[in-house]
A and B are shown apart, each in its own frame.
Chain A
Amino acid sequence: MDLATALAAIYPPDRLLTRTSALAAYESDALTAFRTRPLAVVLAETRQEVIDTVRLCHAAGVPFVARGSGTSLSGGSVPLDDGIVIALNRLNRIVRVDPVDRIAVVEPGVINLDISAAAEPFGLYYAPDPSSQSVCTIGGNVAFNSGGAHCFRHGMTANHVLGLEVALPDGEVVRLGGDSVEGVGPDLTGLFVGSEGLFGVALEVTVRLLPRPEAYRTVLASYTSLQAAGDAVTRIIAAGLLPGAMEIMDRLAMDAAEAAVHAGYPAGAAAVLLVELEGDATQTDAELARLRAVLDASGPSHVHVAANAEERALLWKGRKCAFSAVGRLSPDFIVQDGVVPRTKLGDALAAIEELSRQHGVRVANVFHAGDGNLHPLILYDGREPGALARAELLATDILRLCIRLGGSITGEHGVGLEKRAFLPEMYRPDDIAFMQRLREAVDGRRLANRGKMLETPA
């Protein structure tokens, strides 16, 4: 029995897509530069369907990619032309929210923000908050170890996933971790997270929920240079403060955000720094006094403390929509995701500015300053001949800059297809060889998300 027949035995026709028009939506993800039409797409509704599909693929030697909402910015969910897509959006049940043990057990197609919504009545929330959190799924977050704005204090997805049920690439189902924030034995849950689909498909995810902070204190400081905003971040940490988030936007990004949502960012500033304290109300008030003193000494042109929850929400809305807002400035853009040591933010920003000038390509900067995660948005017009190539050249230079400064090629988007060629620049040949061996040991036929993260050896 061939694969098509076998799939048809599992899925009714409306959940087994093979017609060109139906497949079009699955050809690419949020990184639209890569586009491939798969053999077929299956819309799984149960775990058993996923397991059966993986087993069929394994038996037939057909590569597969599990896909949630397709928000990957690294081409992580782009299919292969000889492979199939296992779409998991319909596997979206919140199995349980346990307000006493402060955990949620969810299926992989559950949307990130829906976990927090389900936990909200209990005063709890799910901390990792990638900018796409209103659409991206937890399965994708697990595969790519998604981050967000709160990683310095709260960590990444790996720090919030306690347990997993996964289908390994040969269809064997294993449980990793459990319901407790503590574990025994090697932390294999932590190893599975961030494996970009190469270790198989997460079928069920147990995440920890945090109590909603009693209070937030959100402060916006504007500066006449990006460097000064970056230096302020270093001063805040040096003062012993531990904000939940520290975000910086440059003029271009601010203008775009302002045009989109009127967040109230000051006109004329070269950069704004958004700092948010969180926790016990008395404690955050005490921290706010210290933060004000640090900011006042950092040479800001303006400091504003959000007066109420609405103001806070607006400041964040501007930040969260910056990516899409930049779309108004330019028909196309590439989002970079490099990381530098936080203390080298100033150097990195100056270098990016210089590179932007050299290449004659505009760059808008939006970044998670607390953890050194840059998000330069490289603007170009795809209709203009050579524009994409110039933008990609600049992107490459920025990645190499991050490696040179001791950082990483990706903070939260993952390597995917996009940065595959750069992983060997960040790690030594022995490290890459180990990753290849581990991948072989887990997936000898290289079927699970083939072509992502690691180049297929010749």
Chain B
Amino acid sequence: MTIAGPSTIESLVEAVAQSAPAPLAIAGGGTSRPRPADAAHHPCAVLDTRAVAGITAYDPAECVVTVLAGTPVQHLADALAAHGQYLPWDPPIAGADATVGGMIATGVSGPGRHRYGGVRDFVIGARVVDGRGRLVASGGQVVKNAAGFLLHHALVGSGGRLGVIADVSLKVFPRPEATRTIVVRGDSLAAALEAHERLRLANLDLDALDLDGPSATVSARLAGAADALDARAARTIAAAGHAVETHTGDAEAQHWHTHSIAWWPREGATVKVPVTPSRLASILAVLAPLGPCRASAGGAVVYLHSAQPLEAVGAVLLAHHLTGAVVRGAEAGRRLGVQPSPAFADRVRATLDPDGRFR
């Protein structure tokens, strides 16, 4: 059954309250977790958030935007771009359908995460509808705020299990004047890893640093004042120590576009694995047999696309003391590998969803 699509926060609250305590499947744009193919026969009620959309407050001079959860990420990005601003964490799955609520709940950041932080670092406030249909606010619309529990932080990566996100307030930044991308194509993964490490440690103030496993390609992006880029690019190329390609303009955009994890097939699962740079080489070696891998944010995270059974992926992660989560696929939200200690998490979830409606 589908609940008639709410279009305001009030109707969203009402929809959640009236359907209580039955389980609810929250459906946004379906880019992370596919929308139920046949909502009418879905085992639980499907709550479509896409109509709860729109930018409710945006003062570019403030660098803060408040946006309803069903708003397409692309729509938000376009509105910011019109004022020379952007989402510094580069939401990677910002295809036509991805919603802001899904972006927060999935907690996935793109290459731009490297410099200023990920989506967790830019959420400054949120409102969420809990399992009993109560609207709960935390944070606010100012970038510095230490009042009350920071529930909005916990919504990042929550996979919709803490409640239905109604709206969020985000810190945004001025878009850099110009960018340039230095690409190193390694003869081998080992060569690419070496270049990646040199670039990472060289204090170049890189905007992005990614490594694509299968093609042994390292992509380093510089961003800032146009008149400083020649000198910065020269230093970056020197640090890379390999033959490199330099991309600007459309070719640069195309390069990042084609290397985005958004283009991995919908079949199978995209798994996010937080790592540390010192273990990157060994972790890539372990994960490569499961599917293509891409390291992002200077080796702080690996995205794996795997067609293997998730149990097999989980077993490999566990054997190497890694934790991960499916961020795209039929089982999006599923934790794999090392499981977190439940004591605190369970208490938070029980407070927001006492009836266990959000699964």
CB-CB contacts below 8 Å: A123-156 with B: 123, 144-147, 151-153, 155-156
> Known contacts A214-B203, A430-B135; can you find 13 more A-B pairs with CB under 8 A?
A155-B117, A180-B275, A181-B117, A184-B157, A186-B156, A187-B120, A189-B153, A191-B149, A287-B225, A341-B64, A342-B61, A408-B147, A438-B151
Name the residue of chain B whose CB is nearest to the CB of A165.
Answer: B341
Name the residue of chain A whose CB is nearest to the CB of B336.
Answer: A184
- How far is A188 from B344 in the complex, measured between Cα atoms in Å? 8
Complex interface: chain B residues within 8 A of A176 (CB): 340-341, 344
Asked if residues B300 and A181 are in contact (CB atoms below 8 Å), the reply is: yes
- How far is A372 from B148 in the complex, measured between Cα atoms in Å? 18
- Whole-angstrom distance from the CB of B17 to the nearest CB of chain A? 12
Whether A435 contacts B149 in the complex (CB less than 8 A), given A184-B323, A240-B84, A371-B143, comes out as yes
CB-CB contacts below 8 Å: A157-201 with B: 158-159, 166, 168, 172, 174-176, 178-195, 199
- Interface presence of B324 (CB below 8 A): yes
- How far is A174 from B324 in the complex, measured between Cα atoms in Å? 18
Asked if residues B277 and A101 are in contact (CB atoms below 8 Å), the reply is: yes
- How far is A181 from B231 in the complex, measured between Cα atoms in Å? 29
Asked if residues B146 and A184 are in contact (CB atoms below 8 Å), the reply is: no
- Whole-angstrom distance from the CB of A433 to the nearest CB of chain B? 8
- Whole-angstrom distance from the CB of A323 to the nearest CB of chain B? 17
Complex interface: chain A residues within 8 A of B348 (CB): 186, 188, 191, 438, 441-442
- How far is A124 from B142 in the complex, measured between Cα atoms in Å? 29
Asked if residues B117 and A159 are in contact (CB atoms below 8 Å), the reply is: yes
- 7 A/B residue pairs, CB under 8 Å, sorted by A: A144-B146, A152-B143, A182-B118, A184-B107, A234-B61, A286-B225, A408-B146
- How far is A369 from B148 in the complex, measured between Cα atoms in Å? 22
Whether A282 contacts B231 in the complex (CB less than 8 A), given A182-B301, A190-B153, A430-B134, comes out as yes
- Whole-angstrom distance from the CB of A168 to the nearest CB of chain B? 6
- Whole-angstrom distance from the CB of A434 to the nearest CB of chain B? 4
Whether A427 contacts B118 in the complex (CB less than 8 A), given A186-B162, A190-B156, A280-B228, comes out as no
Q: Chain A CB within 10 Å — which of B61, B159, B232 has the most? A: B61
Complex interface: chain A residues within 8 A of B175 (CB): 240
Complex interface: chain B residues within 8 A of A145 (CB): 146, 150
Q: Please, what's the 1-or-0 string for B84-122, where 1 marks a CB less than 8 Å from any CB in chain A?
A: 100000000000000000000001010001001110110
Complex interface: chain B residues within 8 A of A103 (CB): 276
Whether A186 contacts B276 in the complex (CB less than 8 A), given A194-B149, A240-B175, A282-B228, comes out as no
Name the residue of chain B whose CB is nearest to the CB of A290.
Answer: B225
Chain B residues packing against A (C-beta within 8 Å): 59-64, 84, 107, 109, 113, 116-118, 120-121, 130, 134-138, 140-151, 153-159, 161-162, 171, 173-175, 177, 201, 203-205, 224-225, 227-228, 231-232, 272-278, 297, 300-301, 323-325, 327, 335, 340-341, 343-345, 347-348, 350-352
- Interface presence of A45 (CB below 8 A): no
Q: Please, what's the 1-or-0 string for A10-24, where 1 marks a CB less than 8 Å from any CB in chain B?
A: 000000000000000
- How far is A176 from B147 in the complex, measured between Cα atoms in Å? 22
Complex interface: chain B residues within 8 A of A409 (CB): 147
Asked if residues A151 and B276 are in contact (CB atoms below 8 Å), the reply is: no
Complex interface: chain B residues within 8 A of A184 (CB): 107, 157, 272-274, 323-325, 327, 335
Could you say which of A286, A414, A441 contacts B350, with CB atoms under 8 Å apart? A441
- How far is A214 from B347 in the complex, measured between Cα atoms in Å? 44
- Interface presence of A299 (CB below 8 A): no
- Interface presence of A451 (CB below 8 A): no
Name the residue of chain A whose CB is nearest to the CB of B349.
Answer: A186
- Interface presence of A285 (CB below 8 A): yes
Could you say which of A156, A193, A214, A408 contacts B205, with CB atoms under 8 Å apart? A214
CB-CB contacts below 8 Å: A265-294 with B: 279-280, 282-283, 285-287, 290
- Interface presence of A339 (CB below 8 A): yes
- How far is A77 from B130 in the complex, measured between Cα atoms in Å? 32
Complex interface: chain B residues within 8 A of A372 (CB): 142-144
- How far is A178 from B329 in the complex, measured between Cα atoms in Å? 25
Could you say which of A172, A181, A191, A237 contacts B297, with CB atoms under 8 Å apart? A181
Whether A186 contacts B150 in the complex (CB less than 8 A), given A175-B341, A406-B142, A437-B351, comes out as no
- Whole-angstrom distance from the CB of B157 to the nearest CB of chain A? 5
Complex interface: chain A residues within 8 A of B232 (CB): 280, 282-283
Whether A182 contacts B300 in the complex (CB less than 8 A), given A406-B142, A438-B149, A441-B347, comes out as yes
- Interface presence of A83 (CB below 8 A): no
- Interface presence of A100 (CB below 8 A): yes
Whether A186 contacts B345 in the complex (CB less than 8 A), given A145-B146, A282-B228, A290-B225, comes out as yes
Asked if residues A155 and B121 are in contact (CB atoms below 8 Å), the reply is: yes
Whether A283 contacts B63 in the complex (CB less than 8 A), given A98-B278, A184-B107, comes out as no
Complex interface: chain A residues within 8 A of B345 (CB): 185-186, 188
Asked if residues A237 and B150 are in contact (CB atoms below 8 Å), the reply is: no
- Interface presence of A415 (CB below 8 A): yes
- How far is A166 from B340 in the complex, measured between Cα atoms in Å? 13
Asked if residues B144 and A371 are in contact (CB atoms below 8 Å), the reply is: yes
- How far is A102 from B209 in the complex, measured between Cα atoms in Å? 16
Name the residue of chain A whose CB is nearest to the CB of B155.
Answer: A186
- Whole-angstrom distance from the CB of A174 to the nearest CB of chain B? 4
- How far is A181 from B118 in the complex, measured between Cα atoms in Å? 8
- How far is A408 from B344 in the complex, measured between Cα atoms in Å? 27
Asked if residues A415 and B148 are in contact (CB atoms below 8 Å), the reply is: yes
Name the residue of chain A whose CB is nearest to the CB of B202.
Answer: A211
Complex interface: chain A residues within 8 A of B278 (CB): 98, 100-101
Asked if residues A186 and B157 are in contact (CB atoms below 8 Å), the reply is: yes
Could you say which of A180, A426, A427 contacts B300, with CB atoms under 8 Å apart? A180
- How far is A262 from B147 in the complex, measured between Cα atoms in Å? 35
Asked if residues A368 and B144 are in contact (CB atoms below 8 Å), the reply is: yes
Complex interface: chain A residues within 8 A of B171 (CB): 152
Complex interface: chain A residues within 8 A of B64 (CB): 341
Whether A237 contacts B174 in the complex (CB less than 8 A), given A159-B117, A410-B146, A434-B134, comes out as yes
Whether A192 contacts B344 in the complex (CB less than 8 A), given A180-B274, A187-B157, A342-B62, comes out as yes
Q: Please, what's the 1-or-0 string for A358-398, where 1 marks a CB less than 8 Å from any CB in chain B?
A: 00000000001001110000000000000000000000000
Name the residue of chain B whose CB is nearest to the CB of A279.
Answer: B205
Complex interface: chain A residues within 8 A of B341 (CB): 174-176
Whether A408 contacts B274 in the complex (CB less than 8 A), given A159-B121, A290-B225, comes out as no
- How far is A279 from B264 in the complex, measured between Cα atoms in Å? 35
Q: Chain A CB within 10 Å — which of B146, B150, B161, B344 has the most? A: B146
Q: Chain B CB within 10 Å — which of A103, A146, A340, A438 has the most? A: A438
- Whole-angstrom distance from the CB of A189 to the nearest CB of chain B? 8
Q: Chain B CB within 10 Å — which of A178, A185, A409 has the most? A: A185
Complex interface: chain B residues within 8 A of A98 (CB): 278
Name the residue of chain A whose CB is nearest to the CB of B125.
Answer: A408
Whether A410 contacts B161 in the complex (CB less than 8 A), given A168-B344, A188-B348, A343-B61, comes out as no
